Amino acid sequence: MTRALLVVVSLAVGVAPAGPAQAAPPAKLAASLSRLFGPGTRVDSLRVDSNVVLRISRGDSLLGFAQVGNVIGKDQPITFLVAVDPADRLKDIDVLVYREPYGGEVAYEPWRKQFRGKTAADSLRVGKGIRSISGATISVQAVTAGVRRILGDLTAWHQAGAIR
């Protein structure tokens, strides 16, 4: 990961409406973006109202968009990333910071991969397209609702030309 990527990511996290207590560590966010979109990408911060959207590109080609979100689990915020490709299909999600003592299984690959390829038109509800996790029901519900909201926002903003 490049220093430039870290700087842009730091800027994006710093102005996120979630507030500093719920922000993702810049290094974690940079590592997540690198995992999802590959190394050597350019990350720009775009603003839509009070939201910060990350645009990821390589050279002249757009690779996708991403946004950091926060939802409340049992009583702590869960900080996660939603990444979409240029066709508004969900590329992947990443749990950046999990603060609760229980329910951290929402960060596990077998659960996260259920979201890949979904669009805003798909059912992103627990029990209808998304399976739950035994012992992590609250976190599953919270993260699923958060992903659904961000995917809907990113799709709407992209289709409206607010992000490009």
Partner 1 sequence: MSDRLTWGALPPAIRTLARWITIVQLVGYTTSLVFVWWTTRLVPIGIAGHYRGTDPEGSEAAMQFAKSFSEMLTITHTHLLSMAVIFVLTGLGVALCALSSERLKRFLIAEPFAALLVSFTAMWLMRYADPRFAWLLEASSGVLAVTFYVQSYLILRELARAKGAA
CA–CA dist 76, 33 (Å, integer): 24
Which residue type does 15 have?
A: V
CA–CA dist 3, 42 (Å, integer): 11
Task: Measure the CA angle with vertex 25, ends 21 and 29; round to 5°.
Answer: 130
Q: What is the nearest approach in angstroms of partner 1 to the Cβ of residue 132?
A: 4
Q: Which two tokens stand for residue 43?
A: 């990350």
Q: Per rule CB under 8 A, is residue 75 in the interface with partner 1?
A: no
Instruction: Tell me whether strands 125-126 and 129-130 are parallel, antiparallel or unpaired.
Output: parallel
Q: Per rule CB under 8 A, is residue 131 in the interface with partner 1?
A: yes
CA–CA dist 40, 32 (Å, integer): 13
Q: What is the nearest approach in angstroms of partner 1 to the Cβ of residue 144?
A: 13
Q: What is the nearest approach in angstroms of partner 1 to the Cβ of residue 102?
A: 7
Q: Per rule CB under 8 A, is residue 61 in the interface with partner 1?
A: no
101 versus 161: smaller Cβ distance to partner 1: 101
Q: What is the nearest approach in angstroms of partner 1 to the Cβ of residue 94?
A: 17
Question: Which of 36-44, 46-54, 56-64, 106-114 is the region at the interface with partner 1 (rule: CB under 8 A)?
Answer: 106-114
Q: Per rule CB under 8 A, is residue 111 in the interface with partner 1?
A: yes
Q: Per rule CB under 8 A, is residue 128 in the interface with partner 1?
A: no
Per DSSP, 83 falls in state E
**Backbone Cα Rg of the chain:** 15
Binding site for partner 1 (CB under 8 A): 101-102, 104-105, 108, 110-111, 131-135, 137
